[in-house]
């Protein structure tokens, strides 16, 4: 079940999203994906070690997204690695179209949200740092998602949260090819296998 489209009338965005998803699928199935995943995990861990979140909002990977849950599972809960923190997963609801985070213990999720994405049955919480998956991103920190607008709405409601975009480097969008819309919320930074953008 796909989320309702937040930018359904935007033809150029639909085309860009389709092309980026095809590129990402091809990359994730290719020979460089394993090494890229290890590199992205290292860069992301370094960022999180600096941010030292009290509660980290993660995401359950969808399609060919970078799997931060698997790649960093031990590090999320290991004080020795510097990331002893509570976790949360997003929960999207269709009516009204909104998203919130739920406390998560790190186990395989037992619930799915209204969009069919695995989530938590925990209590609603507000993380201070969230990982945001990107279909595409610009060097200015703008993000293209799946079109439902869930992350944009949540970030607009929580402007003090540090939003860390997570993407494969092949998802970079030239700024000239991406016109920001009023609902677009900039990310604090973006992490790829090549480092921090």
Distance, CA of 144 to chain centre = 11
Is the residue at 83 inside a domain? yes
Is the residue at 186 inside a domain? yes
Write the pLDDT tens digit of every residue in 44-88. Answer: 999 999 999 999 999 999 889 999 988 777 555 444 444 558 999
Position 128 confidence tier, pLDDT thresholds 50, 70, 90: very high
Position 119 confidence tier, pLDDT thresholds 50, 70, 90: very high
Give the C-alpha separation, 69 to 194, whole Å.
19
Residue 106 backbone class (left: φ over 0; alpha: ψ -120 to 50; beta: rest):
left
- CATH number of the domain within which 30 lies: 3.40.50.10420
Residue 152 to residues 70, 109, 185, Cα–Cα distance (Å):
25, 23, 5
DSSP 120: -
Is the pLDDT at 106 greater than 90? The verdict is no
Position 12 confidence tier, pLDDT thresholds 50, 70, 90: confident
Q: What is the pTM of this model?
A: 0.89
Please give the share of the chain, as a percent, with pLDDT higher than 70. 89
Is the residue at 3 inside a domain? no
Is the pLDDT at 3 greater than 50? The verdict is no
Is the residue at 166 inside a domain? yes
What's the domain count of the chain?
1
Is the residue at 158 inside a domain? yes
Is the residue at 19 inside a domain? yes
Q: What is the pLDDT of residue 80?
A: 43
Residue spans of alpha helices (H) in the chain:
11-28, 33-51, 68-76, 150-157
Is the residue at 82 inside a domain? yes
Using DSSP's 3-state secondary structure scheme, residue 176 falls into helix
Which domain does 92 fall in, by range?
11-196
Is the pLDDT at 21 greater than 50? The verdict is yes
- Strand ranges of the sheet holding 162-166, from the earlier edge strand across to the other edge: 124-125, 98-104, 86-93, 55-57, 129-133, 162-166, 189-192, 195-196
Give the C-alpha separation, 181 to 186, whole Å.
11
Of the candidates 152, 97, 103, the one whose C-alpha atom is nearest the C-alpha of residue 124 is 103
Give the C-alpha separation, 64 to 135, whole Å.
10
Q: What is the pLDDT of residue 1?
A: 34
Of 22-36, 116-130, 144-158, 170-184, minimum mean pLDDT range: 170-184
Residue 81 to residues 38, 49, 70, 103, 184, Cα–Cα distance (Å):
16, 8, 15, 21, 34
Is the residue at 21 inside a domain? yes
Mean of the per-residue pLDDT values of the chain: 89
Please give the share of the chain, as a percent, with pLDDT higher than 90. 76
Torsion from C-alpha of 131, 34, 38, 150, nearest 10 degrees? 0
């Amino acid at each position: 079940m796909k989320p309702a489209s937040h930018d359904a009338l935007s033809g150029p965005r639909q085309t860009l999203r389709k092309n980026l998803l095809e590129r990402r699928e091809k990359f994730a199935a290719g020979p460089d994906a394993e090494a890229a995943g290890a590199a992205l995990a290292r860069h992301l861990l370094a960022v999180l070690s600096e941010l030292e979140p009290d509660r980290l909002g993660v995401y359950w990977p969808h399609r060919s997204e970078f799997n931060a849950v698997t790649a960093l599972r031990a590090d999320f809960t290991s004080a020795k690695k510097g990331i002893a923190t509570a976790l949360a997963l997003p929960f999207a609801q269709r009516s009204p179209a909104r998203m919130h985070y739920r406390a998560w213990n790190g186990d395989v999720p037992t619930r799915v949200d209204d969009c069919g994405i695995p989530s938590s049955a925990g209590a609603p919480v507000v993380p201070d740092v969230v990982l945001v998956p990107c279909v595409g991103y610009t060097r200015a920190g703008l993000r293209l998602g799946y079109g439902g607008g869930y992350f944009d709405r949540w970030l607009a409601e929580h402007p003090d949260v540090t939003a860390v975009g997570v993407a494969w480097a092949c998802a970079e969008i030239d700024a000239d090819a991406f016109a920001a819309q009023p609902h677009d919320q900039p990310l604090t930074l973006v992490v790829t296998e090549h480092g921090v953008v």
